[in-house]
Amino acid sequence: MTVAMYQPQSLASEPTPFPLDQWYVAAHAWEVTQQPLARTLLSHPVVMFRTAAGEVAALEDRCCHRALPLSRGTVEADGIRCGYHGLLFDQQGSCVDIPGQLKIPAKARVRSYVVCEQDDLVWMWFGRDAGAAPAHQPPRYDVHSSGKYLYKGDVYHYDAPYQLIHDNLLDLSHLGYVHLHTIGGDARTHMNARMTVEEQGETVTVKRHMLDSVPPPTYVAAYPFREKVDRWQEIEFRVTHLRIWTGAVDAGSESVDDPDRGGFHMRGFHGVTPETATTSHYFWTIATNPKENLQETLQKVVEQTKFTFDEDKVVIEAQYNNICQFDHPSMIDIHVDIGANRARRMIQRLCMKE
């Protein structure tokens, strides 16, 4: 685990619709290289890069001289150099070199951010108070680091608010309609799945079981099921990300409540980070446990997962476009909305704290 401790700046003075004092996913670890990576997170333009020592640095994407984005510059051994007049900033945001000038003004610095790299994810702390260290460590996700699973992932940009992505992931009843040809299956089975919802602290957990059901195409392509299966969907919502464990065993062969059950597993990580109030970043990985043809099976799972996420993106962006077109109309709730509604109330409570 690599932790870079820089001086965070206060965000509390700036109106924000996002919960603060939280670790948000800023990037997949493999995205951050010695080339500048520009990304807006919680309405803050940030540039990330990897230092000569291999650590992740994150600065405000703005030179304090003439405001050119630092992401248009170059990464050097001692930091990032602005592409306009050559000011060099170290990973703490201090200017350490001005070409042609020996004296460096004390105000020649830019905001730096607290970042932590672990489990192939780069987390960034967004806190209320200037100068305060993070209140806790970022969450671990050992699915990436335990060696028990093979996984890959990617990132999407959404022209939609982040909570619409939460809604989609917390309500998997839509699989039978939106993802009929991949991970879906019979739509009525999904809508009638046995469901429990629990809330504890800043976590909402939704569990859905579909016993004695027909396995969907993705499952059949990846695992040698006999005929019908007992499926599970376990969704763990946290404020900045969700973890979704789905899978199946041959019908009647094992309990779907057994934490050590076998069968076919898909473990999804979903880092949902607001870009602005109306746009979002969606960092995802999918992990699986193939029994044979490991890389070939992983590739099938990844391709079909990406296909389903492409379908979700179309639906969510069309949904938000219609919400705007109809000037935020009132909407009804049905039985599958319990988990999403609890998550929304939790976000609302945390934002009100700010």
What DSSP letter does each residue of 20-74 carry, written as one string? -SEEEEEEEGGG--SS-EEEEETTEEEEEEE-TTS-EEEEESS-TTT---GGGSE
Alpha-carbon distance of 186 to 169, in angstroms, equals: 18
Q: Residue 183: what pLDDT?
A: 59
Residue 7: is its pLDDT beyond 50?
no
Q: Residue 301: what pLDDT?
A: 86
Helices (H), the chain: 162-170, 175-178, 187-191, 217-222, 294-325, 338-353
Alpha-carbon distance of 82 to 73, in angstroms, equals: 5
Q: Residue 6: what pLDDT?
A: 32
pLDDT tens digits, 126-158: 998 867 789 899 999 999 999 989 999 999 999
Ramachandran region, residue 86 (left: φ > 0; alpha: ψ -120 to 50; beta: rest): left
Alpha-carbon distance of 53 to 58, in angstroms, equals: 14
Judged by average pLDDT, the poorest of 119-123, 172-176, 193-197, 213-217 is: 172-176
Which one-letter amino acid corresponds to residue 262?
A: G
Judged by average pLDDT, the poorest of 137-141, 160-164, 171-175, 236-240 is: 171-175
Q: Which CATH class is domain 2-126?
A: mainly beta
Q: Residue 130: what pLDDT?
A: 63
Task: Name the 3-class secondary structure at 226.
Answer: coil
Where are the domain boundaries for CATH 2.102.10.10 in the chain?
Answer: 2-126
Q: Residue 17: what pLDDT?
A: 83
Alpha-carbon distance of 210 to 191, in angstroms, equals: 10
Residue 303: is its pLDDT beyond 60?
yes
Q: In terms of Cα–Cα distance, which of 106, 45, 108 is closest to 72?
A: 45
Residue 169: is its pLDDT beyond 80?
yes
Q: Residue 133: what pLDDT?
A: 87
pLDDT tens digits, 53-103: 999 999 999 999 999 999 999 999 999 999 999 999 999 999 999 999 999
Stretch (H or E) spanning 116: strand 115-118
Where are the domain boundaries for CATH 3.90.380.10 in the chain?
Answer: 150-353
Judged by average pLDDT, the poorest of 220-224, 323-327, 333-337, 348-352 is: 220-224
Q: What are the C-alpha distances in Å from 197 to residues 11, 256, 338?
A: 33, 16, 7
Task: Name the 3-class secondary structure at 347.
Answer: helix
Average pLDDT, the chain: 89
Q: Residue 10: what pLDDT?
A: 42
**What global pTM score does this model have?**
0.90
Residue 304 banded pLDDT, cuts 50, 70, 90: confident
Please provide the CATH number assigned to the domain covering 150-353: 3.90.380.10
In the block, residue with structure tokens 């919502």 = 237
Q: Residue 2: what pLDDT?
A: 46
Residue 11 banded pLDDT, cuts 50, 70, 90: very low
Contacts 24+ apart (CB under 8 A), 289-292: 289/148, 289/149, 289/150, 289/264, 289/265, 290/150, 290/222, 290/223, 291/223, 291/224
Q: What are the C-alpha distances in Å from 123 to residues 41, 320, 346?
A: 11, 27, 21
